[in-house]
Structure 1
Amino acid sequence: MKADKELLLKSPNIVWISTHDINPDLGCYRGVWPGAEYATTPNLDRLAAEGARFDNAFASAPVCAPARSAIMTGCFPTAIGTMHMRTKAVPPPEVRLLPEYFRQAGYYCTNNSFTDFQVVTPPTTFDDCSSTAHWRNRPDPETPFFAAFHGMVTHESRIYLDEEAFAETTRNVGSGARHNPNEAPLPPYYPDTPVFRRAWARYSDLITEMDHWVGDILAQLEEDGLAESTIVVFWSDHGRGMPRAKRWPNEAGLREPLIVRWPGAIPPETVRTELVHTMDLAPTMLKACGLPIPAHMHGIPLFNGNGEFSGQQNDFVFGSRDRMDEAEDMSRTVRDARHRYIRHYHPDRSGMQHTQYPDHLETWAEFRELAAEEANQLGSGTLPNRLTELQRSVVAAGRPQEELYDLIADPHETVNLAEDPAHGAAMQQLRSALADWQDRYGDLGLVPERKLIEQWRPGGRLRPTDVPDVSLTSGGLEAKCSTAGASIGWTFDPPGDGMKAGSPLEQVSGAPQNDGRQWNLYTGPVTAEEGTRLWVRAWRLGFEPSDEVAITIN
């Protein structure tokens, strides 16, 4: 036991700091990402200077729940059924959420507190998943930890708050740090209107507010003397919360900031330019901590336990867009170091189909209003002039079946080269890469969603997880479950008044169901004093939890 503890003490701690809905619009990406020079982000700039900045990191989907499922499983959403926004998938039995691997290795795992992984998060995943979850709550200060903090301040909804609510949300952004709408670096696919300039300035103020929050977390690590022994990872789930970014499988929908600091392992001022999936974070964290990488994970480790960067790199990065709430759609994309290729399976549908939630947001409404004004111009026999041809394509009724962009010459993806013979070789290479990816991993987006749900839940009913087989041995309480992929939890806490309903957001995002008890992940025989009563239960992602087994140690 002593040797195991000594081994654990050598394991680095991990802190994940994630935010919503931003591109690399941080000062440290100045000259790398267009418009990053507009940003005010001193804490994240310092974090990048102290570690590694990844210049070409990409989400697996341009919307939160599918993107987060990839990060937390290390698997492509299209391969495990988590590609629709939103769903409650039943992944293959080998798939588990990343923190379970760390709990199994003795880490204290916390999440503060957003989930949204496309499954109901079982209580075996985290020691604490709540608004107060923190590494400081671990029972032993020598226990290594995996602590995730998920900030909501940059979520698209915050851009459009009323003046009073926005001022309160950005209360830590001083007057000198406020972004001037007149200087907003609008990309050419947005109309240059007060609505878009105001939205861009507010988006940037929210990033500055988020940067303040990041600074607080980093300061807490310093206060606790943990900065030198902790891997800090900062990431966003996907791109900015405006049209042709969030929900679009374009560069602005998928390109992410990714920063990693690991003192003593990764040298300061490191810049990495290889293609990276944020999905690669799952195997990377396991590798860095000396833990085995499950064979089913699709991501690749970016660096090893010494902070040395892998010779294994992605030749391509892949992404997908599927149902966006009520908007039925399917697109697939692949990118290499220079080009992005997109294939739309429904070219007769708008990329900006009516979707109830974002359609009430001001930038969406502005596009709709300008398109309506152009329709009125056409109705009066006048050529439309409210939008450029590029801007008009955002809200158009259809789109090309294929798109190809040279991202070095055209970072805003303004000129579709799909029919340009001069780019035929790139088209063919990327078409082939996309087809090979779909063949290798499978693409459940090709299966009608209703058929998929029936396969997962025959007759609309969750499959049950088998009751654990529990026995008392000379080594302690042992348990096993015959359901493939099940995780077993145990607790000393007796049943209370039943499950407490979470908030609507917690329910839709799959937060752990709260029964007021502390569930431990079963990793081996459990010992306790004679007469102690324990409860044991099993969970399988996408299944109904098992019934409980109560047993008294004797």
Structure 2
Amino acid sequence: MSLRPHGRLTVRSASVVLFYCAATWLAATGVGSSARAAAPPNILIVLADDCTHNDLPMYGGQNAKTPNLQQLASQGLTFNRAFLAEAMCQPCRAELYSGLYPMRNGCAWNHSASRADIESMPQHLGRLGYRVGLAGKVHVTPEKAFPFEYLDGFDKNCVRDPTQTCRLGPVTDFMSRSGDPFCLVVALVEPHVPWVMGDASAYPPNRIQLPPNIADTPETRRAFGRYLAEITYMDAQVGQLLDQLESTGKANETLVMFSSEQGSQYPGNKWTNYNTGVHTALIARWPGVVEPGTRTDALVQYADVMPTLMEIAGHPPQAGTFDGSSFAAVLRGQADEHRKYVYGVHNNVPEGPPYPIRSITDGRYHYIRNLQNENLYIEKHLMGVKGDGKLNNKYWQTWVFDSFDNPDALRLIQRYQLRPEEELYDLQDDPYEMNNLAGSQSATAIQSELSAELDRWMKSQGDPGVEQDTVESLRASRRNEHRFGPHIQNQ
């Protein structure tokens, strides 16, 4: 259509000119794109199960083959310093879904229960118009606090042998529905023990490079190969999920987040506050918002995810709703810092006798306080055998058997079971935490700073320390009669 028919500017053509000029100005200034970006994105969160972050190639892992995760990292932002408060399946998921630390949400032990009066992802995002679903492993209670729409298709049983083959239909249907945006969590069950999925022949034991916190025995190498095979099996499922998202036509309007959960079932990883336990992998892809192929040193924690999702959905949370805070500015490339500290908790009951631990890191220095270090540390699943022993790998027994002739094995056994009252590590130079700096003159200032901040945080959380890691406190939580913790303020 001519904008100036017969050489004259008509009313209709003038309107077109004004619209054209306005559109050109909006495009030039970015206002139009900002308005489009403000639409709440869909959210897809994919969780691994018991996967040590630095066994993945994007975190320096030298063994595992993970082409799909590496492609995801090339398309998004990788967090170098992401942590969870407690390196056990149920507490870390309760923290992720609620945005509350273990003492405040109530799930401070494995196989326990959160407080029935808290709210979590389904309530918070549901009020904003999201459909909130969960497929795969659940492992949070009570349902009143976590009322997800539960989807079939992914195995809910993390110890099944073998894992059920996934069916993508239910999650694809959930993502494909028209109308309201979706938030979908797919909680995979690999590489949780038993390590039976994937092709272990792709990881010959004699070619594996073991991390320095794992003793080198033939049985350890065989077990580690099976564990690596499960990581690759998990990676393939990530690829399938991303392909299905693409098939719905919604990939460009979806924030995808992947996390490895806590560390693997090896001594010093899961069930500990060491870096290989509470440090998690976190990758975020958000087309048009997150800069592809980037990394950040911003310090974040699982409790920060819910407030982040609230902000990107267009409704920043009110103060006091969450323990965490939004890192949306990091996702958008507007900030390269977030927290000053992240915090850690371990209560050993019912995984073994009481052995409470609390910790804190500023991203570089990691301070760990063993509140009952006079006790012998015991973790029953890793060190013991029950029934046919399928869930209890034999490698620990080989460490013990070889300890007379293998000084490294003895040293790692002692590190695991005989711990000092305080530990301090430089994660920059010593990511596997083999050199304890606590008590050294050079570390006095940072040790004092972190110790004081840990005291402050424990007090703010109503955390009594030793008295929390007891059978009495665990049983009370299961009855929704939590003995300790701050007042819960739901907004």
Question: Given the superposition, is the C-alpha separation of residues 358 and 280 from structure 1 closer, same or farther in structure 2, using an over 3 Å criterion?
Answer: farther
Task: Give the Cα–Cα distance (whole angstroms) in 2 for the partners of residues 461 and 343 of structure 1.
Answer: 28
Q: Which residue of 444, 448, 453 corresponds with 1:433?
A: 453
SS at match of 2:271: coil
Query: Identity, % of aligned pairs?
Result: 26
Secondary structure of 2:143's counterpart equals coil
Which amino acid letter does the alignment assign opposite residue 101 of structure 2?
Answer: F
User: Is it true that 1:340 corresponds to 2:366 in the alignment?
Assistant: yes
In the aligned structure 2, how far is the partner of 1:265 from the partner of 1:106? 22
**1:170 and 2:198 are equivalent in the alignment:** yes
Q: Counterpart in 2 of 1:414? A: 434
Q: Deviations over 1:338-389 (max 9, x none)?
A: 21111001102233x1515762368864334443565xx6xxxxxx645455
Matching residue of 1:210: 234
Structure 1 residue 79: deviation in Å? 3.0
* SS of residue in 2 equivalent to 1:332: strand
Tell me, yes or no, if structure 1 residue 274 matches structure 2 residue 295: no
Please tell me whether the aligned partners of residues 242 and 364 of structure 1 are also in contact (alpha carbons under 8 angstroms).
no
Equivalence for 1:22 = 51
Matching of residues 213-362 of structure 1 within 5 Å: 213-294=237-318, 295-304=320-329, 307-310=332-335, 313-327=338-352, 328-351=354-377, 353-356=378-381, 359-360=384-385
The offset of 1:128, in angstroms, is: 3.4
Q: Deviations over 1:64-115 (max 9, x none)?
A: 1111111011111033321111212326x4x211122222222122110322
Alignment partner of 1:392 out of 402, 413, 434: 413
| Counterpart pick for 2:173 among 113, 126, 136 | 136
Measured at CA, do residues 435 and 355 of structure 1 come closer, stay the same or move farther in structure 2, by a change above 3 Å?
Answer: same
Paired with 1:98 and 1:445, the residues of 2 have a C-alpha distance of 28
Change (3 A) 1:453 1:369: closer
Q: List per-residue Cα deviations over 1:111-135 (Å, max 9, x = no partner).
A: 1032212x22239722334447425
Counterpart in the other structure of 2:148: 126
Partner of 1:40: 65
Structure 1 SS opposite 2:194: helix
Q: Is the 8 A contact 1:27 1:42 kept in 2?
A: no
Amino acid of the structure 2 residue aligned with 1:39: A
* 8 Å Cα contact 2:307/2:325 also seen in 1: yes
Q: Structure 2 residue aligned with 1:196, among 196, 220, 227?
A: 220
Does structure 1 residue 146 correspond to structure 2 residue 183? yes
Distance 1:180 1:12, change over 3 A: same
Q: Does 1:443 align with 2:480?
A: no
1:313 Cα offset (Å): 1.4
Moved more, 446-455 or 236-245: 446-455
Q: Structure 1 counterpart of 2:48, which letter?
A: T
Aligned to 1:158: 194
* Post-superposition offset of 1:462: 8.0
1:11 corresponds to: 40
1:51–1:266 Cα contact (<8 Å) kept: yes
Deviates more, 1:260-269 or 1:270-279: 270-279
Distance (whole Å) between structure 2 residues aligned to residue 123 and residue 251 of structure 1: 30
Partner of 2:95: 70
CA distance change for structure 1 residues 199 and 364 in 2, over 3 Å: closer, same or farther? Answer: closer
Q: Distance in 2 between matches of 1:389 and 1:124?
A: 43
- Distance in 2, Cα, partners of 1:317 & 1:98: 21
Q: Specify whether residues 453 and 86 from structure 1 end up closer, same or farther in structure 2 by C-alpha distance, changes over 3 A only.
A: closer
Indicate how the Cα distance of structure 1 residues 124 and 235 shifts in structure 2: closer, same or farther if over 3 A, else same.
closer
Q: Which shows bigger deviation, 79-88 or 423-432? A: 79-88
Alpha carbons of 1:337 and 1:123: their partners in 2 closer, same or farther (altered >3 Å)? Answer: closer
Question: What whole-Å deviation, never above 9, does each CA across 1:433-479 have from its counterpart, x for those lacking one?
Answer: 2112112232154544455468668xx6989xxxxxxxxxxxxxxxx
Deviation at 1:326, TM superposition (A): 4.3
Aligned CA distance change for structure 1 residues 151 and 8 (closer, same or farther; 3 Å): same
- Match of 1:287, SS state, is helix
Give the equivalent residue in structure 2 for 1:380: none
In structure 1, the residue matched to 2:137 is: 114
Q: Partners in 1 of 2:63 and 2:435 — Cα distance?
A: 25
The answer on whether the counterparts of 2:42 and 2:254 sit within 8 Å (CA) in structure 1 is yes
Give the distance between the partners of 1:354 and 1:124, measured in 2 at CA.
28
Contiguous gaps of at least 5 residues in structure 2: 1-34, 154-168, 483-487
Corresponding pairs, count? 430
DSSP 3-state at the match of 1:416 = coil
Hey, which of these two has a bigger chunk of helix by percent? 2
**Aligned residue number for residue 165 of structure 2:** none
Contact between 1:288 and 1:304, CA under 8 Å: does it hold in 2? no
C-alpha change, 1:403 and 1:124, in structure 2 (3 Å) is closer
Helix, strand or coil for the counterpart of 2:423? Answer: strand
- SS for the counterpart of 1:158 is coil
Task: After TM superposition, give the deviation of residue 411 of structure 1 in Å.
Answer: 1.8
AA paired with 1:443?
Answer: D
Letter of the structure 1 residue corresponding to residue 65 of structure 2:
T
Letter in 1 for 2:444: G
CA root-mean-square deviation: 3.1
State the Cα distance separating 1:39 from its structure 2 match.
2.2
- 8 A contact 2:133–2:184 mirrored in 1: yes
**Helix, strand or coil: the match of 1:146?**
strand
For 2:307 and 2:45, the matched residues in 1 are separated by: 14
Residue range with higher mean Cα deviation, 189-198 or 289-298: 289-298
Unaligned runs of 5+ in 1: 1-5, 160-165, 378-383, 464-483, 488-554
Q: 1:14 offset after TM fit, Å?
A: 0.5
Deviation at 1:325, TM superposition (A): 2.1
Is this contact kept in 2: 1:195–1:363, CA < 8 A?
no
Query: CA shift at 1:222, angstroms?
Result: 1.0
| Aligned residue number for residue 523 of structure 1 | none
